[in-house]
Amino acid sequence: MIKGINRQIIEITDTGNLYYERALLVLRPEYSGAQRALLEREARKVLNKMNAPSTIKKKHVFFYWALRLGSAAAIGAFAALLLCNIF
């Protein structure tokens, strides 16, 4: 539901992000008189802080931990093999 019609919106079409095509940012009423260049610069800062969607992050985290735990298991198995051959 739209609550107000007197809102200023900044539209960023070149987000510089692989996942997002454009962004619409709604300004607070007290900052509607600010310089356009300053508002666009702040909008780009906000967009630069945005990361990949959470499902993509979760896939990367899963593969990271799987690789990390897999290599730890391989190192442990190798160490056990060496210890068995020594004794």
What is the structure's pLDDT at 44? 81
Instruction: Dihedral sign for Cα 57, 59, 62, 64, please.
Output: negative
For 19-75, the pLDDT digits (tens) are: 778 888 888 888 778 888 888 888 888 877 776 666 666 677 788 888 999 999 999
Q: Residues 40, 82: one domain?
A: no
The model's pTM is 0.47
Q: Residues 71, 37: one domain?
A: no
Cα(10)–Cα(27) distance, rounded to whole angstroms? 7
Q: Residues 1, 17: one domain?
A: yes
Q: Residues 77, 64: one domain?
A: yes
